[in-house]
Structure 1
């Protein structure tokens, strides 16, 4: 793991700057203490990062759980909610024991790519108001409908109107543009000039310049409002620092609502994690494969510890993971170091962190979002055909206008419909030959597996056969034949006599002319299927 330290250390710094505002923003969006988001980020980095089998995945508090957490805290109280977090972690351990991680492999590639692109678009749209110093809403609020009553596009329109009318924060906008120039110059030019520019990452330089800018412009017309700075809780002393930790109220464990919340957290957190694992493995240039059941163990352990000391629920997070990949992270050491950076910084330098303009971090996230949602990807998916493009597009639109899980669910639903349509179309091959001896010669060859999904297509073809036809019905390549299909064939054998259709059944069991009964030929019991392998 330490062989890749030269790659992981710079990447961990970038992930740290991406994670810091998100930890705070998600806590604020969840109606939880700000410090709880930092706890989840620290545990997600150090504990989950150490136990995980993923080399490039980064875990922390998830925006997708914010609405669930907000409601649970309002209904249960924070200390009782922490009990649900601990129980949710235990349930995730059980999921790992039951090998539930295999679920992550059943999401179509088009949906996973749509998820990445949708998140990239959301990041860009959400950061534009912060870029111009116009939005005080937390950066961790990635849902379409926000906690302040606005939505993604109303916030964007307000920022555009402010930009047109000149009412933007000049200081925030100037330092955001400077940061963007630094990031682009660093990645496209300087990083190729020497090793020092690869070790010292552009985002670190941009943040340092942002702090200097904020301090030096205090009291001028370029001054940045405190509302548009990072807001890490600053303790007065050691006792004040310890008082930020909350502990579960286990006397509430008999409350049924606690268990409902725990199962909800476990299910949603596990699903988000498995989806992010699949997505990060696709982004990984080294094509590492994450053991999904081990990941559930790691996430469950992280949630147990996070809940015990007052933290929010944890999942693997695609924003941080993609930032890690884009910054050259190679091993889990990057995630672990980012967790230690969060821990050390909130203890030693919270005051310095609170001088970082959000518009600088918005510029960093803007680059992350663009790399996830490059326009060329839309063209690539379109060129792959409608079976890939439609689920991809539906997933993107669903995520942008609802949230992560709803968007993925819509994309998956469309993907299933596409599979059913193709199954309907590919149940058989029809070969029409010349007419001879007064009869049409047609050969119908069934596919390798034929199920009840194919009933409509096969029934349509059989009903459309003209009178006076000689039909060669070939099942030699068919390994599985659903009983519903055999019933259709059996009914057709009876109708064929009335339409002067002769049937030649070709199978591995032999050739039969005009079989009186397909059911008897396959020697089936009622309502059974047949394996022809």
Structure 2
């Protein structure tokens, strides 16, 4: 496809993304406790700088709801000028991570923890912004917002409640009624609510932008705090912004058939955008899946769409700020309530429940909402590590009696010393004097488990029964018998010594048979 043909697709796509980005950028800035202009600056820089340098051409960058809680805490601790300086340094750190090719390393964090973190942030956003939509003020913590919510609902309300409810209703029903991407639900909801507020001449708080945006840029100033207090904020913003951007880039790759993302280059682009955004007094920038998916759905072909959407925002801020100042803050708060709740994805919850990872998701989400982001993520990672250790040390033991007097025991998974007690109980429950065929499907066997099987086989044979132990798809038994354990997990040819009494471990008390080998395909 020629460049001109691609450009014809990119212009309409850029307009769609521009229409989505304006209300979201304003709302995220408001929820972060930052000047509203900071959100628009981040949207412009994310579009132009990150778009031009991006390793994921169809990804759109800008201020993200996932960083709202972090930015709000940073501003509360260091002031907005200090937070802007921290964003600049975080951007430089991202560039270093990209140059040193550590982009993919950020994806080593469990997706369950990442999505649980976003769900927790979404809960915090929704609980705080619902107070604004109801005409009140958000509290300092998610617990305080939840505690005061019944009183806020029962309190006397102004027309802002009507405006917030109208916005939420339109956001929920518009996409089901109208399928065109040229009229995004966010834009329609905010425009309709603004028109209603204007017609009613509602006395509500509205967007307030400086008359001359260029002269109102807030320059960063390094906080008057010790480095050990500032450094955690820098690292947190850099890492969370990097992980969210890279996960978004991977998700966008699945939506189109064009070139795949270069994650290290994408990380450099995000770092450059954050360095510029912080220098100009903007919010942190990340790749954003909502705007990116809208960009792909609208037919974007190249990075020109992301760049142009930033250009349109800049032009609109400079020439159309009067229109922006008509928007009620209750409408932006309602938008963020829906955005926050959508971060708690029911589809992801069902997926993680199916894969038995829901506790990791829930612990992370509740930890982030109840404490703070770092503690919540730490709890989630600790839970993920415990689940991993539990699965690594877990084996399945199935006992069946295919015919009278003959028993079949199948052991699958990792057979280590921690499972020896359960294995001993299951084997001891077998009736004496029978024939038992023990079949191992193992990815690991330690010496303690090997000794347990060997001792049981010796004891069962002496009591008058017959026991045959064989291994499928592995060589752990042979390695255990030849002191070859402890050399690490590996996939080996499926070979076992062939003995007259059976395969695998020979019956104790019989001469060792000649070493003959055969592969069992199982």
TM-score (norm 1): 0.70
Kindly state the Cα deviation for residue 13 of structure 1 after the two structures are TM-superposed: 0.6
For 1:505, what is the secondary structure of its paired residue? strand
Kindly state the Cα deviation for residue 169 of structure 1 after the two structures are TM-superposed: 1.4
Residue 232 (structure 1) aligns with: 209
Residues 1:318 and 1:188: Cα distance change in structure 2 (over 3 Å): closer
Kindly state the Cα deviation for residue 158 of structure 1 after the two structures are TM-superposed: 3.4
**Which whole-Å deviations, capped at 9, do the CAs of 1:221-270 have from their partners, x for residues lacking one?**
x322xxx22233343x86x33xx2425669x9995655554334333433
In the aligned structure 1, how far is the partner of 2:143 from the partner of 2:398?
Answer: 54
Residue 12 (structure 1) aligns with: 18
In the aligned structure 2, how far is the partner of 1:503 from the partner of 1:360?
Answer: 74
Residue 141 (structure 1) aligns with: none
Whether contact under 8 Å (1:113, 1:279) holds in the other structure is no
In the aligned structure 2, how far is the partner of 1:509 from the partner of 1:180?
Answer: 57
Whether 1:93 aligns to 2:95 is yes
Residue 203 (structure 2) aligns with: 223
Whether 1:486 aligns to 2:450 is yes
Kindly state the Cα deviation for residue 73 of structure 1 after the two structures are TM-superposed: 1.9
In the aligned structure 2, how far is the partner of 1:419 from the partner of 1:509?
Answer: 23
Whether contact under 8 Å (2:59, 2:288) holds in the other structure is no
Residues 1:411 and 1:279: Cα distance change in structure 2 (over 3 Å): farther
Kindly state the Cα deviation for residue 114 of structure 1 after the two structures are TM-superposed: 5.4
Residues 1:280 and 1:492: Cα distance change in structure 2 (over 3 Å): farther
For 1:151, what is the secondary structure of its paired residue? helix
Kindly tell me the number of residue pairs found equivalent between the two proteins: 481
Residue 340 (structure 1) aligns with: 311
Whether contact under 8 Å (2:420, 2:448) holds in the other structure is yes
Residue 239 (structure 2) aligns with: 267
Structure 1 segment 218-367 matched on structure 2, within 5 A? 218=201, 222-224=202-204, 228-235=205-212, 240-241=215-216, 244-247=217-220, 255=227, 259=231, 261-274=233-246, 291-317=262-288, 324=294, 335-367=306-338
Residues 1:400 and 1:278: Cα distance change in structure 2 (over 3 Å): farther
Structure 1 segment 69-88 matched on structure 2, within 5 A? 69-70=74-75, 73=78, 78=81, 84-88=86-90
Task: Name structure 2 gaps, 5 residues minimum.
Answer: 1-5, 494-522
Whether contact under 8 Å (2:89, 2:234) holds in the other structure is yes
Kindly state the Cα deviation for residue 492 of structure 1 after the two structures are TM-superposed: 4.6
Whether 1:461 aligns to 2:426 is yes
Residue 154 (structure 1) aligns with: 147
Kindly state the Cα deviation for residue 12 of structure 1 after the two structures are TM-superposed: 2.6
Residue 142 (structure 1) aligns with: none
Residues 1:398 and 1:386: Cα distance change in structure 2 (over 3 Å): farther
In the aligned structure 2, how far is the partner of 1:253 from the partner of 1:391?
Answer: 35
Whether 1:168 aligns to 2:157 is yes
In the aligned structure 1, how far is the partner of 2:489 from the partner of 2:171?
Answer: 62
TM-score (norm 2): 0.72
For 1:447, what is the secondary structure of its paired residue? strand
Whether contact under 8 Å (1:423, 1:453) holds in the other structure is no
In the aligned structure 1, how far is the partner of 2:324 from the partner of 2:474?
Answer: 79
Whether contact under 8 Å (1:427, 1:450) holds in the other structure is no
Q: CA RMSD of the aligned region, Å? A: 4.7
